[in-house]
């Protein structure tokens, strides 16, 4: 693998390309943080203007599943970081193994999430005419659950994309000589994966903890 | 810039190197992607214009000429959505931005060429979705999609349109990321920040808005779609939800988006004014930083769209004062352009006519914005034709003029052909005249109280409405003209030299049209952006050394 | 390797802290712990300080504009004194006690 970049591409060296790609990913993540930022504005406002109903909603979420899922995501992100380190030291095999473990944990997260959702559907916690929580705070609780389902859905979509990206990484590793640009890809996907984890670190307290007692 | 222009002329051009359709559709060359975008947004511009034409036809008679009330609502919605998201927002950044950023930086391509191509496909998909929704029934919400109208009451096709706009957002973000990262990372040796042409500063500022405001639109539309599909959502007042929250989220994007729709135009005008006055831009650093500060302050003012919506007085006062702040950097730009023109020997070629039109119309649009930023006068003027006239002065008088100016200015570089100068001037003059005739009466109409978004109006407003419609028909002719002579010039126009306007800037140092790799050698920059002294000296030496014929 | 393990255990500890804080009803404490967790991920997993300096600029810009969105976006709701369909009008900032 030589250090010269593609002569038709915009870069002089591979190092330059790598640095630029990483910076670009960070910029994209800054953009993503504003995507979730709009959601958090909604929760910030309703959690205060509709505090009682909102808290009633928080009390109905399943803290056990949420907590276990948080542990899973933290672990998954940590293991993927191991993959990034392994790729940096050109241990391709170790990198792929770690990445696949991280993706598997991501799938476990999604499965648990799906189970949680189906439980909530059965308990009539999806907003609508047969909503389970009644009384004066029913409106606020419905607002909470609208937020809950949309936020967890959006997060789950990011998880699915992330899992797909990791799968792509692992497939590319099978090619004869993935080379330096592969290491960069591993790193980029790692940034994304950790970002998804990071979003959950905020979603978890907002959906399960704040206002519970 | 020490390279003599001739030494950088390579042989093959990007246009003809590989002529197959496949090579165009799979290209990662920023110049070809710019052309793909150019064709695409021209189609959308025409579509949106048809909506405008029908609106103006309808309003010739007080009782309405041709459309039912409902169709009228669907028509102005179609006009708004297509023009904003499928033409104005992408317009200059995706065409000239794509084409010029690498050329102006002295680079071979944008930082992420494949992402660039992806953004075009996303844009085409989004355009098709929007058009599908609009032609299979359309919707009557206006381009702002206010809830609960868009969620509970509309009979129209909200979902495909919202999905289309949602997709176009990702296309914008991709373009924004590409431009920002390219400007940071791909500047040629010697190209410091203060040696960059002002166009790049403007595109950088625009891209900041693309990247940081567009995601908020995406999430807003997602919330809207959620509410529309399940009929229970986050903005529903029956549940204690706050419909104004939708407006806050929407305008957090859409006010900065107004600057997406003007900042690139300011960049184009800075280039044109400097070139046709043959002078460096007066107060270069002020103009550069005013772009950045317009983008930054633009995020802080959105509440002025909601003064009468029932927001708190406290918030309204804060947003009103912040809105006044934006006028400062805008005024800096106008005065610096005038300062550049002062004492210059101005050539009145078509691009310069457009640029001068821009300065005048933008000033009118900007000053009338102050009436709307003031709480007291906004209560009287909001939701009237005054607002319509105000933002058309900025977006059409400003941005579309700048777009056409840029198209004339860089046409020789893009295609390698000159357009017919005489026709260019005629079209520019017609656009200016037609535009003012269309929209100036609307200021008066609005001041006298004619509300916007109605299919009919009291008889006392007819004269001004007929004038406005007459102006629109002139404008229509004036927009068709360039389409005709640009197409003609592709086949019959004179061959363009590398630097037909005697302009500075790296894009003029390569051939017209440029080769695929942009420059035969990576250029090296040794002086500031508008260094006409060096350019003239080089030209003189070249002329002396040339053998006499 | 060791560093990652350290970050991982700190995250788990903080998570446990969050749960404890929830049982005691210390909402602000939960938020503070969540911010700490985010910081650990950004520094420990995403390695922002080893990234090109541009990355830091972008991250700071994103954070700044996130702040603008949350602060200016909630300004109206937290200062509105009329126009409520149900419940009491709210005229205080979230961090002030009623
Ligand atoms: Cu505005």
Query: Chain A interface, mutation test: which of B111, B175, B250, most A Cβ atoms within 10 Å?
Result: B111
pTM score, whole prediction: 0.93
Q: Which of B181, B208, B315 sits opposite C75 (nearest CB)?
A: B315
Q: Determine whether B481 is exposed, middle or buried from the number of CB atoms within 10 Å of its CB (0-12, 13-18, 19+).
A: middle
Q: Which of B177, B185, B216 sits opposite A34 (nearest CB)?
A: B216
Measured between CB atoms, does B107 come within 8 Å of chain A? yes
Per-residue model confidence (pLDDT) at position C82: 56
Per-residue DSSP letters for B361-430? HHHHHHHHHHHHHSHHHHHHHTTBHHHHHHHHIIIIIIIIHHHHHHHHHHHHHHHSB---HHHHHHHHHH
Residue of A nearest to C36 (CA): A201
pLDDT tens-digit readout, B253-275: 999 999 999 999 999 999 999 99
Q: Which residues contact B205 (CB under 8 A, 6 or more apart)?
A: B259, B263, B291, B292, B294, B295
- C38-97 residue pLDDT tens: 999 999 999 999 999 999 999 999 999 999 999 999 988 888 875 444 444 444 444 444
**Alpha-carbon span B477 to B228, nearest angstrom:** 41
Q: Averaged over B315-338, what is the pLDDT?
A: 93
Where do the structural domains in chain A lie, given as residue ranges? 14-209
Q: Could you tell me which chain C residue has the CA closest to the CA of B322?
A: C72
Q: Least CA distance to A19: which residue of chain B?
A: B185
CB contact B248 to A (< 8 Å)? yes
Contact between B215 and A16 using a beta-carbon 8 Å cutoff: no
Q: Do A34 and C66 touch (CB under 8 A)?
A: yes
Return the residue in C54, C57, C67, C72 with the most chain B beta carbons within 10 A, the one to mutate for interface testing. Answer: C72
Residues in chain B closer than 8 A to C87 (CB atoms):
240
Partner residues linked to B417 by β-bridges: B495
| Residue of B237, B244, B300 lying closest to C72 (CB–CB) | B300
Per residue in B473-501, pLDDT (tens digit) is: 999 999 999 999 999 999 889 999 989 99
Backbone φ and ψ for B111, nearest 5 degrees, come out as: -65, -40
Question: Do residues B410 and B99 lie in contact, with contact meaning Cβ atoms separated by under 8 Å?
Answer: yes
- The answer to whether residues B127 and B164 touch, using CB atoms and an 8 Å cutoff, is yes
**From CA B57, how far away is CA B469, in angstroms rounded?**
7
Show residues of chain A in contact with B250, CB under 8 Å. none
Put simply, whether B3 touches C (Cβ < 8 Å) is no
The pLDDT assigned to B507 comes to: 93
Domains of chain B, earliest start first? 19-543 (1.20.210.10)
Dihedral angle of Cα A146, A150, A155, A159, to the nearest 10 degrees: 120
For range A51-65, the mean pLDDT: 93
Give the position of tokens 């290209």. Answer: B27
State whether ipTM is beyond 0.95: no
Residue A177's pLDDT band (cuts 50, 70, 90): low
Question: Does the bond joining B355 to the residue before it have cis omega, within 30 degrees of 0?
Answer: no
Which CATH superfamily groups domain A14-209?
A: Cytochrome c oxidase, subunit III, four-helix bundle (1.20.120.80)
Contact present, A205 and C18 (Cβ < 8 Å) = yes
> Across the interface, do B310 and C77 touch by the CB < 8 Å criterion?
no
């Amino acid at each position: 693998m030589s250090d010269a970049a593609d002569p038709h591409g915009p870069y002089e060296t591979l190092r330059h390309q790598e640095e630029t790609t990483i910076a670009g990913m960070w910029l994209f993540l800054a953009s993503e943080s504003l995507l979730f930022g709009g959601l958090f504005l909604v929760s910030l406002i309703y959690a205060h203007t509709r505090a009682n109903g909102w808290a009633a909603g928080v009390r109905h979420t399943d803290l056990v599943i949420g907590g276990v899922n948080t542990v899973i995501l933290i672990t998954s992100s940590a293991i993927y970081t191991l993959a990034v380190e392994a790729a940096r030291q050109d241990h391709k095999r170790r990198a792929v193994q770690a990445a696949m473990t991280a993706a598997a944990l991501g799938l476990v997260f999604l499965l648990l999430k799906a189970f949680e959702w189906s439980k909530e559907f059965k308990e009539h916690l999806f907003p609508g005419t047969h909503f389970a929580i009644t009384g004066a705070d029913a409106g606020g609780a419905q607002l909470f659950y609208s937020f809950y389902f949309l936020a967890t859905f959006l997060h789950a979509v990011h998880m699915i994309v992330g899992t797909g990206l990791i799968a792509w990484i692992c497939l590319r590793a099978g090619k004869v000589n993935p080379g330096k640009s592969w290491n960069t890809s591993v790193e980029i996907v790692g940034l994304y994966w950790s970002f998804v984890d990071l979003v959950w670190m905020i979603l978890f307290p907002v959906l399960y903890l704040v206002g519970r007692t | 810039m020490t390279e003599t222009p001739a030494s950088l002329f390579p042989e093959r051009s990007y246009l003809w190197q590989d002529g197959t359709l496949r090579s165009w559709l799979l290209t990662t060359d920023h110049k070809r992607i710019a052309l793909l975008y150019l064709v695409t947004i021209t189609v959308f511009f025409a579509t949106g214009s048809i909506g405008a034409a029908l609106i103006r036809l309808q309003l010739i008679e007080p009782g309405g000429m041709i459309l039912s009330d409902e169709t009228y609502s669907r028509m102005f919605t179609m006009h708004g959505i297509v023009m904003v998201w499928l033409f104005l927002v992408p317009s200059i950044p995706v065409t000239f931005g794509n084409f010029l950023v690498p050329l102006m930086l002295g680079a071979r391509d944008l930082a992420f060429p494949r992402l660039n191509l992806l953004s075009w496909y996303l844009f085409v998909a989004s355009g098709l979705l929007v058009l599908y929704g609009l032609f299979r029934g359309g919707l009557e919400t206006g381009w702002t999609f206010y809830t609960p109208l868009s969620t509970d009451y509309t009979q129209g096709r909200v979902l495909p349109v919202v999905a289309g706009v949602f997709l176009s957002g990702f296309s914008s973000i991709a373009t924004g990321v590409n431009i920002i990262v390219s400007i940071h990372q791909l500047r040629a040796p010697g190209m410091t920040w203060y040696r960059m042409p002002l166009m790049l500063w403007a595109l950088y500022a625009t891209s900041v808005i693309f990247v940081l405001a567009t995601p908020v639109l995406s999430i807003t539309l997602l919330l809207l779609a959620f509410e529309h599909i399940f009929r229970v959502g986050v903005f529903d007042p029956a549940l204690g939800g706050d419909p104004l929250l939708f407006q806050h989220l929407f305008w957090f994007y859409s006010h900065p988006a107004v600057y997406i729709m003007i900042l690139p135009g300011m960049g184009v005008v800075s280039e044109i004014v400097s070139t046709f006055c043959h002078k460096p831009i007066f107060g270069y650093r002020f103009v550069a930083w005013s772009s950045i500060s317009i983008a930054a302050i633009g995020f802080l003012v959105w509440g002025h769209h909601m003064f009468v919506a029932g927001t708190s007085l406290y918030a309204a006062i804060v947003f009103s004062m912040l809105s006044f702040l934006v006028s400062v950097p805008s005024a800096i730009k106008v005065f610096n352009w005038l300062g550049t023109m002062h004492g210059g020997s101005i050539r009145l070629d078509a691009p310069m006519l457009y640029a001068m039109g821009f300065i005048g119309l933008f000033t009118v649009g900007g000053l009338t914005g102050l009436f709307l930023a003031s709480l007291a006068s906004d209560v009287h003027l909001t939701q009237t034709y005054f607002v319509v006239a105000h933002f058309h002065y900025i977006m059409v008088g400003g941005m579309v003029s700048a777009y056409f100016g840029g198209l004339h200015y860089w046409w020789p570089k893009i295609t390698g052909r000159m357009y017919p100068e005489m026709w260019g001037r005629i079209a520019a003059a017609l656009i200016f005249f037609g535009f003012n005739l269309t929209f100036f009466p609307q200021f008066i109409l609005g001041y006298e109280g004619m509300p916007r978004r109605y299919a009919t109006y009291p008889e006392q407003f007819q004269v001004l409405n007929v004038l406005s419609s007459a102006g629109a028909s002139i404008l229509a002719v004036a927009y068709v003209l360039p389409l005709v002579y640009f197409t003609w010039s592709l086949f019959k126009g004179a061959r363009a030299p590398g630097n037909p306007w005697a302009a500075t800037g790296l894009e003029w140092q390569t051939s017209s049209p440029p080769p695929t790799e942009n420059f035969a050698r990576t250029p090296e920059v040794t002086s500031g952006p508008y260094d006409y002294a060096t350019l003239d000296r080089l030209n003189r030496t070249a002329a002396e050394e040339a053998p006499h014929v | 390797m060791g560093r990652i393990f350290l970050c991982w255990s700190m995250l788990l500890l903080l998570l446990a802290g969050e749960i404890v804080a929830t049982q005691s009803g210390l909402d602000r404490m939960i938020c503070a712990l969540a911010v700490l967790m985010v910081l650990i991920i950004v520094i420990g997993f995403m390695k922002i300080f080893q990234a090109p300096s541009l990355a830091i600029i972008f991250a700071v810009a994103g954070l700044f504009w996130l702040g603008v969105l949350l602060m200016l976006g909630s300004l109206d709701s937290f200062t509105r004194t009329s126009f409520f369909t149900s419940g009491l009008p709210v005229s205080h900032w979230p961090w002030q006690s009623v």
